Structure 1
């Protein structure tokens, strides 16, 4: 990070206000936002979804949607007033002097064009390089962002690259013309800790080399703490706190900033749990030498572990480590190739979905993206009631059918209440709900059959820190009240440390280490576990950490 006292600002945002047209009305979403950024500085804009941080970043780049407009204030870049630019003027500035690293490489890259050609487009638009020089520059950029075997990579299509690799391509495109300012909009959202660190290291290295200033839009306070000189905290369209990062973290002045910081997993008190029994009768999940192959690919390779009644057992690892495939076998969504899997005393190793059905009441799953798992035609009542209908008798006397509807209604309402949602949500549609509310609906759907084991596959990875904290508190309360057993799949080690009793670390389909969570975190026994722990963002947020 760069200390630039007295440097003249590269970017000045002065009293910025933005409104969106909705039908015939106008709704202001940004109110009088002001800040300055010097060359080489990093400003992190943090806040929950809807706080205005992405709108601010997009306004700086002139990339507001068609129904959005700047209704007050101005944005200055050096001596140029960006808010006065015509579309033609923006084309001359955007990509060359200022550029964007977008959030989602899946939708930001053209799926039918080679990634090298997409980076070359920036050079074609903003430089006078000939074709040979552009090809050399693309090769240099791919090396700069950490690719090896560049000749092959530049000819690949986006679907042939991992999420982290696609994000590197977007970084290469953003810096191709050596801009003075980069707006990075959630550039590592959804990435594994190690890949996140690589991408952020890359942005940081480029900033140090060229003096590029960065506006880092993120909901991850750990990333903001580690990677910025200044933090701006946004809430309901206003910049409620702005200052040097270390000062804001050490002594936040605004109540909302304090609430955000209090929600960070590493700052929340860990409630000790009594040790779980290891008796065979107390093992609700028993996995021995589990293997799952897909053709020549071995996704899970000889995995063994037990899960004890009432505990939270976490499985962590990077994308492709095999943790989600393991979860799919445990929930009957994928058959094992070999090995043994016992759930609640029953051998389910080679059961297909129909054979697994009798266990479906006792073993439920909460998916990473609940919205994708909901029928778009259903309202909340239909979503939560669906498992009950699935197990209901097909042919009933009319009187019994009415009674069943009343029973279902009571159980749906009880499940919603258990997930901290009021009964008036019954007739809402998932599209009308926030991410946190949708995840609560997914939890209610899992609870309505009163299961004993719940598999949670990345349940909070897409949620803001305060919403994630609420979901974790909810899961802990439900476990205490109902004696639930959780298998918690995650790449977020800070969350795993906060919620789990024991943890297994997976790499390339194998478990390389497992044991009590605190022991694994405090004294890792495998080099891969050490690398994962070293990549955790937000050490500066931990109470007592050196600044």
Structure 2
């Protein structure tokens, strides 16, 4: 413990016995144009010193609203309707702004989800961590800087003065999250609210960040409210699990008993859809008899791609048979998405050969690649960013059809297009009633289905899926994966599946390649790579998968 902050024992000496944090009958609502919408309903739980309570649930279940209510950080229009939040026996949910700000950071602190928006892009990260010390301690300038150095060492940074002076854009996502953790623990709070602290991070970085939070908890007895949609993380890292559904606490139980025997039907539904527990029966249309070589849909030989002096992809080779799923896994910056862009003609290779459906891509101009575009489609991680917000679903899905039709298409073409869009939506398990909705009116899973429908409307043979489910809730992930497997069986599609989530890859793939720093370090059949990894790096990735306890429940 740092000598620069008040010793915890001194602060605890006058604290009453019992939970350090208690939420009692909490209900929270938001003002809308049609009255108050209740987001959290009558939620109660207690958290003792050193305990970790994982609040899990899908988007819109009320997880983050509870965290924000505890911290007094509800957005404009949000308010506590009833119930109370108590810190060490003292009600804090009715405190005024200044009195609550005095507690925030010193007694209860926040690790937010997205460091990109939580850190000031025009300030160096060291002074941003100092802000908490300036507010909650009497340390002078020199002592604050020394304390930040100490905190940066604690969160695993080397060359701490260099880190102190860097701007957020000079750090990786995992490093930025470590800065936020340093800021959250600077004044040695009794409670940390960690709101999706590892969402979007690679498996190894996620494990490092969670290890760090756990180590800090053990060192200081800090209680942690871990808000997450990842049941694997909850199972591995908590003492208690609370399952939220539609703002209500459906279940609250010790983690071990929750994993073994969840009482609530919705809890069982979530656990059954964890990627590590999924398996699909796949009967791919048109697969050649096993005694004959399978026809390749994609052949990549010695592919390299350079951007200036940076090598994004370095001497990569693989083959994808027709009707199969080939996954490429690796951490951020490994070259996965660059490879996907080369396969879809969005980026030209620097060297090597890439053949898709028998056509060599290397020498093709954008215009020459156009005829192949019908047969090779891509589904992106964030479909909303690739939709024109002015378009309804009909126009979004119809766009590829219009691009292959002459200007001023006839009324007959428009009728045919509508029919094909409706058929593509049906294939993606969306009703025709969605045709005139706008993407902003859809959930994340529905938007991803629209993106899949748009990719299918030209009846392609190869679909490249670049992190297509990483931002989705666990049950929606399972639905999209099942949809992809069904479509592959019915249509004989070939998939190149890009992901950093090894549990998802294992559920859907035939073969897998593991990329690191632009190179493939290992590839093979899915069972071989997962059960007998040849590369130490692959073994490290496999060891970082969250939720191993759930796979064997």
Structure 2 partner of 1:318: 331
Preserved CA contact (<8 Å) 1:334 1:352: no
Distance change (3 Å), C-alpha of 1:494 and 1:281: closer
Are residue 343 (structure 1) and residue 351 (structure 2) matched?
Answer: no
Report what 1:515 is aligned to: 524
Whole-angstrom CA distance in 2 between matches of 1:353 and 1:322: 22
Map 1:93-492 onto structure 2 (within 5 A): 93-271=103-281, 282-396=295-409, 401-492=410-501
Distance in 1, matches of 2:549 and 2:71, equals: 30
Question: 1:278·1:308 contact (CA, 8 Å) conserved in 2?
Answer: no
- 1:122-162 CA distances to partner (integer Å, 9 max, x unpaired)? 11111110000001001111111111121111111111111
Residue 351 of structure 1 and its aligned partner are, at CA, apart by 2.7
Deviation at 1:355, TM superposition (A): 2.6
C-alpha distance in 2, partners of 1:168/1:457?
27
Contact kept, 8 Å, 1:105 with 1:163, in 2: the verdict is yes
1:504 is matched with 513
Q: What is the rounded CA distance, in whole Å, between the counterparts of 2:42 and 2:188 in structure 1?
A: 30
Q: Is contact 1:98-1:181 (8 Å) kept?
A: yes
- How much has 1:117 moved relative to structure 2? 1.0
Q: Could you give the per-residue CA deviations for residues 291-340 of structure 1, whole angstroms, max 9, x where no partner exists?
A: 00011100000000000000000000000000110000000111100000
Aligned positions, number = 535
1:537 partner SS: coil
Task: Kindly provide the CA deviation profile for residues 73-122 of structure 1, in whole angstroms up to 9, marking residues without a partner as x.
Answer: 00100032111210011110001110000001111111111111110111
Structure 1, unmatched stretches of 5+, are 1-6
Displacement, 1:270? 4.3
Distance 2:270 2:224 in 1: 22
Please give the alpha-carbon distance, in whole angstroms, between the structure 1 residues aligned to 2:143 and 2:118.
Answer: 25
Aligned-partner SS, 2:349: coil
How far, CA to CA, are the matches of 2:384 and 2:408 in structure 1?
Answer: 31
Q: Which secondary structure does the structure 2 equivalent of 1:314 belong to?
A: strand
Q: What SS does the aligned partner of 1:84 have? A: coil
1:73 aligns with one of 67, 80, 83: 83
Unaligned runs of 5+ in 2: 1-16
Counterparts of 2:170 and 2:29 in 1: how far apart (Å)? 39
Q: Secondary structure at the match of 2:469?
A: coil
Q: List, as ranges, runs of 4+ consecutive aligned residues in structure 1 with deviation greater than 3 Å.
A: 272-281
Question: Distance between the aligned counterparts of 2:78 and 2:408, measured in 1?
Answer: 54
Native 8 Å contact 2:280 2:482 kept in 1 = no
Shift of residue 24 of structure 1? 4.8
How many angstroms does 1:427 deviate by?
0.8
CA RMSD of aligned residues (A): 1.4
CA distance in 1, matches of 2:539, 2:228: 26
2-structure distance, mates of 1:531, 1:352: 40
Offset from partner CA, 1:464-503 (integer Å, 9 cap, x none) = 0000000001000000000000000000000000000000
Distance 2:375 2:463 in 1: 8
Structure 1 pair 321/147, CA: closer, same or farther in 2 (3 Å)? same
User: 1:280, CA displacement in angstroms?
Assistant: 6.8
What TM-score comes out, normalization by structure 2 length? 0.95
How far residue 281 of structure 1 moved from its aligned partner, in angstroms, is 6.7
1:30-45 to structure 2, matched below 5 A, reads 30-45=40-55
**For residues 232 and 34 of structure 2, what CA distance do their matches in structure 1 show?**
40
TM-score of the pair, normalised by structure 1:
0.96
Assess if the C-alpha contact under 8 Å between 1:311 and 1:486 holds in 2.
Answer: yes
